[in-house]
Chain A
Amino acid sequence: MVKKLNKHSMHKKTAGLLALTLAGTALLSACGNNNNNGGDTASATSSASAAPSGKAITLKVEVFDRGNAPDGMSITNNYLTKFVQDNFGTPNNIKVEFVPVPRSEEVNKLNVLMASGSDVPDIVFTYDSSTFFRYAQQGGLTDLSELLDQYGPNLKEFIGEDTLAYGVVEGTQYGVPARRTHLGKYSSFIRTDWLDKLGLGSPTTTDELYNVLKAFKEKDPGNTGGKVIPLGMTIAPAQYEPLIWSFIQPATEEELYTLTSGTRDLPILLPGFKDALQFMNKAYNEGLMSLDFGLDKDKTKLGQDVANGLVGFYSEDDMNPFYKDGSVDTLRANNPTAVLSAVDVYTNSEGKHAKPEYTPIGMYLMIPKASKNAEAAIKYLDWMASGDNLFQMQNGVEGENYTLEDGVPVTIADQSDEFRNRLYNQGDMAIISNGKSLGSADLNVEAYVKGMPEANQDETRKAMTISRSDTIKPIRFDRPIESQAKYGTTLQDKFEEMLVKTTMAKPDQFDSTYEAMLKDYMASGGQAVLEERQQAYAAMTK
């Protein structure tokens, strides 16, 4: 490498080396900011004091970390972790340890945990069905059938047979799906004060809606100075799914099973899908939508625009706008005369307000094969399902967090922060139930309603009624669609791309854009999903 070293070239080499070292440092420091935001994974509860005889076992349970722990608490050490330890752990001589996983990187972090083998928690979970199926098929999960019979009678009863069936892969119970208590998804919302100002009635069909949106645009009843966004839109499902499904033509069961695609059962090949995109295209090109809707993946911008009184109409997860200090509260603070009401507008060719509903399950709870504490894990879930443990975990202490009214726990409005903070992550700790669980759908809804600020309770009730009516039941195959697990994320991305591209195309380029995007979708895995769904449907109905 070094041939002859006269003084001149020596100098050159040093300069080069110096540069290299510096470049190396720059690279290193650039790579070095890969900070682990998992937080403190260390010991959770150290209160295994008066344990019964024998050596205590340590049960590790995954918990979502949303980075929102109140002062003086951490995700691994808070009111609920102590509640679990005192009421389940200590009496059973079990030390319950919580393993935080960042909510936004749920699947990636879980993959890493699962791959680590020995270090994996005893109870893990995911919302992603593909991930669950993959773990099950690759042999990474414990068979739960016997364990459930032996140690989980209360759990089985709570979850129910129908829901448990979602945790069966190829005949084996590999997971326990959490029970979802409220199946409604979406409602739409409109600024009724704008309607009143323009002397318009509330729209009841998609055509009427279009005229109202036009009027919002032209007459600007909110005096936004031209910034009005008549139709609030994003690339999150809550905004586009109700719109798209209202354009889908009535279909047979077979069509519904085979011509939908991806883990969200997108109606890409069903008749009417193109009409939905055409409507979006028209609305966009006539200035009825935000020019930047394609940038808004997490609904942040939409939420701001609603709160700032720019949005006239939009659809959203039914109770999302009504939380304390949420969009509606902020909107009212900004403009005391503003009224945002829940309405059911999008209408299909049969006159129904068709919209998807949730599958009756929440997260898939799983016990990795590497776990040595499967028995304790099932016992923990069974404990949660028995007595009033779940109720206490979800609602806290009577008289401090809630009062009972007709069997419905009503959140005490002016409780101290100390009490309120107890339940800050109850949704992530009460893993067997997705949503408040009181025994019937109406009671569950009422529990949500009573949890909202008083001024928003009527509208919340309305929205949660709308979200449960005219719903389209989700599709359930009796086997995993493997191509969906494989291409799922790609197809979801392709779908979003199709949505924004066709919407933002010039009207005369709509057809060609649609054709090109559909072709791309099919070639990137859509075709494989279609064929597998056809086979699976044929096998299922044989």
Chain B
Amino acid sequence: MNATRYIRRYWQLYALLVLPVLYFAIFKYGPMYGVIIAFKDFNFFQGINGSKWIGFDAFREVFAMRDFYKTLRNTLMLNLLDLIVSFPAPLFIAIMLYELRTAWFRKLSQTILYIPHFISWIIIGGIAYQVFGTQSGMLNNIITSFGFDAVPFLTNKSYWLITYLAIGVWQSAGWGTIIYLAALTGLNRELFEAAEVDGAGRMRRIWSITLPSLKPTIVTLLIINIGHMISIGFDRPYIIGNTTVREYSDVLSTFVYRVGLESGQYTLATVVGLFQAVVGLVFVLGSNYVSKKLADQSIL
């Protein structure tokens, strides 16, 4: 087909594409200009162009910092644990919700599970202190009333990890189910009826029908998650973390905040950001490649 006919036929689709493309151009590609700060001794009174070039000096400085390696290790550790604990949680919940037959009860459960996602981390942090505090936390009040010793949920680094993960699951698992439930709505119920006639039990049906139909979604989300392995949100570790467990709770984002923003060293902050972006890209491409080879599923 020739060009005019092609455009006439598909222009609506391109029109639809304009907004997302603009979004990426303005908010994702535009700011990349600022990456050159990483190679300059940035002085914000002189602006990006006026500042001196320093080559890789800032990279050397960052890679020589002890805290950089500690925060890098913590970022990877917290993300890996999150991947193991928090990644499967929405899947389980979605399957359970899908199996529920009473519509009103399913909707109610879904709503209740979503709610934590809409609570600000600041508030969650406040709740966490009230619930998990050693001296007067709700949970420890119960534990000590049975005559056991108080558990330092927030002030011992190992217990803190568990608290951190549990809060993460509570906050995000419900919201994460949306994607799986959306994928499941396209599933033909007749498949289940047929399987039931053939004598398949509930577990069998989940294993042979529900899970395989979710496979593309799971793989997509897994690749996205692995791509984010090196980056970590600021709010959760910063707010749930505290001085006593900084050995584990100090991550790259809090490191950038402290060194870059609080001390006004934007060059160092940009170096860390660039480093995270590059490693993240490698992770995405790598996991995509592996998944293509092993499961014939990929997003690129």
Contacts and interface: CB of A to CB of B under 8 A. Distances in A.
Given A19-B179, A20-B220, A295 B264 contact: no
B178 A22 contact: yes
Nearest to B247: A497
Contacts of B183: 15, 18-19
A22 B179 contact: yes
B175 A26 contact: yes
Interface stretch (B98-106, B150-158, B196-204, B275-283): B150-158
B134 A292 contact: yes
18 contacts: A15-B183, A19-B182, A19-B220, A22-B178, A23-B179, A26-B175, A108-B262, A135-B45, A138-B43, A138-B46, A291-B155, A292-B135, A297-B243, A488-B263, A496-B243, A500-B244, A501-B244, A504-B244
The 3 closest A-B pairs by CB, nearest first: A115-B44, A294-B244, A140-B45
B155 A138 contact: no
B224 interface: yes
Contact of A26 (B67, B154, B179, B299): B179
Interface of B: 43-47, 65-67, 120, 129, 133-136, 150, 152, 154-155, 175-176, 178-179, 182-183, 186, 213, 216-217, 220-221, 224, 233, 242-244, 246, 258-259, 261-265, 299-300
Interface residues of A, number: 52
A504 B155 contact: yes
Interface in A59-107: 107
A20 B258 CA distance: 33
A489 interface: yes
B44 A111 contact: yes
Interface string A272-289: 000000000000000000
B218 to A, nearest CB: 9
Contact of B44 (A18, A114, A292, A486): A114
Contacts of A496: 243
A16 interface: yes
A139 interface: yes
B244 A108 contact: no
Contact of A291 (B152, B221, B246, B262): B152
B300 to A, nearest CB: 7
Contacts of A20: 220, 224, 299
A1 B216 contact: no
Contact of B263 (A15, A23, A294, A490): A490
Interface in A187-203: none
A321 B221 CA distance: 53
B261 A108 contact: yes
Given A19-B216, A19-B220, A489-B262, A295 B154 contact: yes
Interface in A138-179: 138-140
Interface string A1-32: 10000000000100110111011001000100
A229 B133 CA distance: 15
Contacts of A22: 178-179, 182
A235 B242 CA distance: 11
Contacts of B217: 15-16, 19
Nearest to A368: B45
A16 B183 CA distance: 9
Contacts of A117: 45, 47
Contacts of A489: 258-259, 262-263
Given A291-B134, A295-B154, A490-B258, 7 more contacts: A16-B216, A115-B44, A117-B47, A291-B135, A295-B133, A369-B45, A497-B243
A129 interface: no
B222 to A, nearest CB: 11
A292 B262 contact: no
Contacts of A235: 243
Interface string A511-523: 0000000001001
A490 B259 contact: yes
Nearest to A289: B135
Given A15-B186, A16-B299, A108-B262, A520 B66 contact: yes
Nearest to B259: A490
Interface string A463-507: 000000000000000000000011111100100110111001000
Contact of A493 (B43, B258, B265, B299): B258
Contacts of A490: 67, 258-259, 263
B16 to A, nearest CB: 12
A471 to B, nearest CB: 27
B182 A18 contact: yes
B295 to A, nearest CB: 12
Nearest to A13: B216
B3 to A, nearest CB: 20
A114 B45 contact: yes
A223 interface: no
Contact of B154 (A292, A488, A499): A292
A489 to B, nearest CB: 4
Contacts of B154: 292, 295
A334 to B, nearest CB: 16
B45 A15 contact: no
A115 B216 CA distance: 46
Contacts of A523: 66
Interface in A340-385: 369-370
A345 to B, nearest CB: 24
A19 B264 CA distance: 39
Contact of B45 (A138, A488, A501): A138
A524 interface: yes
Nearest to B184: A15
A114 B266 CA distance: 13
A497 B178 contact: no
A290 B220 contact: no
A181 interface: no
B261 to A, nearest CB: 5
A18 B185 CA distance: 12
Interface in A23-43: 23, 26, 30, 33
A496 B150 CA distance: 24
B300 A1 contact: yes
A184 B217 CA distance: 63
A264 to B, nearest CB: 15
B144 to A, nearest CB: 9
B221 A15 contact: no
Nearest to A135: B45
A295 B132 CA distance: 11
Given A26-B178, A504-B244, A524-B67, A291 B261 contact: no
B220 A295 contact: no
A523 B64 CA distance: 11
A227 B136 contact: yes
A227 B140 CA distance: 13
